[in-house]
């Protein structure tokens, strides 16, 4: 029982942002992921010219997604919009959002890390060299 209690505390801290920008280590439920995600300018560290007000990721309950107007550096190939199926994947005790799609594009949006900050999950796409710490961060929009 003690181990169970410790796991709940760790989960609560991770989801509440107790570690700042921490990795999501417990699989989020679908309700957490489903919705419209847009640019979070405060947490994005990529060059401002890569940030567009029209960048959007729509994650649907049926397991599909639509990504539109992402910077080419994040990689939609030559397309402004792509559709595919999303899934969550654990990698090194951290959860990722996989976003593959089938299309004859020149490149592929392979997915993003999930991070926890201030009681919410954010989606983080790395751009270029990880040592440059250039990332595009998305925040889920509140339901209307």
- What is residue 27's DSSP assignment? P
Tell the residue number behind the tokens 């899934």, with chain if given. 87
For the entire predicted model, the pTM comes to 0.75
Number of structural domains the chain divides into:
1
Tell the residue number behind the tokens 């009681």, with chain if given. 119
Q: Which two tokens stand for residue 5?
A: 């209690």
| pLDDT band of 20, cuts 50, 70, 90 | very low
Q: Do residues 54 and 69 touch, judged by C-beta distance below 8 A?
A: yes
CATH code (residue 27) = 2.40.128
Looking at residue 77, its pLDDT comes to 60
Q: Name the residue range of residue 127's domain.
A: 2-140
Q: 64-68 contacts: CB < 8 A, separation 24 or more? A: 65/99, 67/99, 67/109
The answer to whether residue 44 scores a pLDDT higher than 90 is: no
Looking at residue 88, its pLDDT comes to 93
Q: What's the mean pLDDT in 88-102? A: 85
State the Cα–Cα distance between residues 48 and 54, nearest whole angstrom. 14
């Amino acid at each position: 029982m003690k181990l169970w209690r410790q796991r709940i505390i760790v989960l609560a801290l991770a989801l509440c942002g107790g570690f700042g920008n921490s990795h999501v280590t417990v699989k989020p439920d679908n309700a957490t992921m489903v919705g419209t995600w847009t640019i979070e300018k405060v947490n994005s560290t990529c060059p401002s010219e890569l940030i567009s007000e029209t960048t959007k990721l729509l994650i649907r309950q049926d397991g599909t997604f639509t990504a539109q107007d992402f910077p080419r550096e994040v990689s939609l190939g030559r397309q402004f919009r792509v559709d595919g199926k999303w899934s969550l994947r654990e990698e090194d005790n951290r959860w990722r959002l996989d976003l593959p799609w089938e299309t004859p594009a020149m490149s592929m949006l392979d997915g993003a890390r999930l991070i926890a900050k201030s009681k919410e999950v954010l989606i983080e796409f790395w751009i270029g060299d990880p040592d440059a710490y250039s990332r595009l961060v998305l925040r889920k929009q509140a339901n209307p």
